[in-house]
A = this chain, B = another copy of it.
Amino acid sequence: MKTSTLQDVARVAKVSTATVSRTLSNPNVVSESTRRRVSEAVKITGYRINRAARNLRTQRAHSVLVLLPDLANPFFSAILEGISRNLSQQGYSMLIASTKQVHDSGERLIDYLDDARADGMIILDGGLDADIVEMLETAPQANRILFACEWIDGANFPSVRCQNRQGTRTAVNHLYDLGHRKIAHVTGPEGNVLMHSRKDAFVDEVEHLKLEQRPEWIIDGDFSLAAGCQAALKWVGLHDRPTAVFCASDQLAMGFIAELSRRGFKVPDDVSVMGFDDIDLAEHFIPPLTTIQQDRLMIGETAAKMLMARIVTPNEANSDQAAVLPVSLVVRESTASLR
State the A residues within 8 Å of B (CB): 1, 3, 48-53, 55-56, 59, 61, 63, 70-74, 76-78, 80-81, 84-85, 88-89, 93-98, 101-102, 105, 107, 111, 114-117, 140, 225-226, 229, 254-255, 257-258, 261-262, 280-281, 284-286, 297
Contact = CB atoms under 8 A, between A and B. Distances in A.
The 4 closest A-B pairs by CB, nearest first: A74-B74, A71-B81, A52-B55, A48-B114
A139 B33 CA distance: 32
Contacts of A48: 111, 114-115
A125 to B, nearest CB: 15
Nearest to A95: B93
Contacts of A258: 284-286
**Copies of this protein in the complex:** 2
A72 B61 contact: no
Contact of A78 (B72, B116, B281): B72
A93 to B, nearest CB: 5
Given A52-B56, A55-B52, A101 B84 contact: yes
B56 A84 contact: no
Nearest to A285: B258
Contacts of A102: 88
B73 A77 contact: yes
Contacts of A284: 225-226, 229, 254-255, 258
Given A72-B78, A77-B77, A93-B117, 8 more contacts: A55-B56, A71-B78, A72-B297, A84-B97, A93-B95, A94-B97, A225-B280, A229-B284
A95 B63 contact: yes
Contact of A96 (B53, B96, B117): B96
Given A78-B72, A84-B71, A94 B96 contact: yes
Nearest to A63: B95
Contact of A98 (B52, B59, B81, B255): B81
26 contacts: A3-B114, A49-B115, A50-B56, A50-B115, A51-B61, A51-B116, A52-B56, A52-B59, A53-B116, A74-B74, A77-B77, A80-B96, A84-B96, A84-B97, A84-B98, A88-B101, A88-B107, A93-B95, A93-B117, A94-B97, A96-B96, A254-B284, A255-B284, A258-B284, A258-B286, A261-B286
A336 to B, nearest CB: 16
A51 B51 CA distance: 12
A96 B81 CA distance: 10
A52 B116 contact: yes
Contacts of A114: 3, 48
A206 B94 CA distance: 46
Contacts of A280: 72, 74, 225
A84 B96 CA distance: 8
A261 B285 CA distance: 11
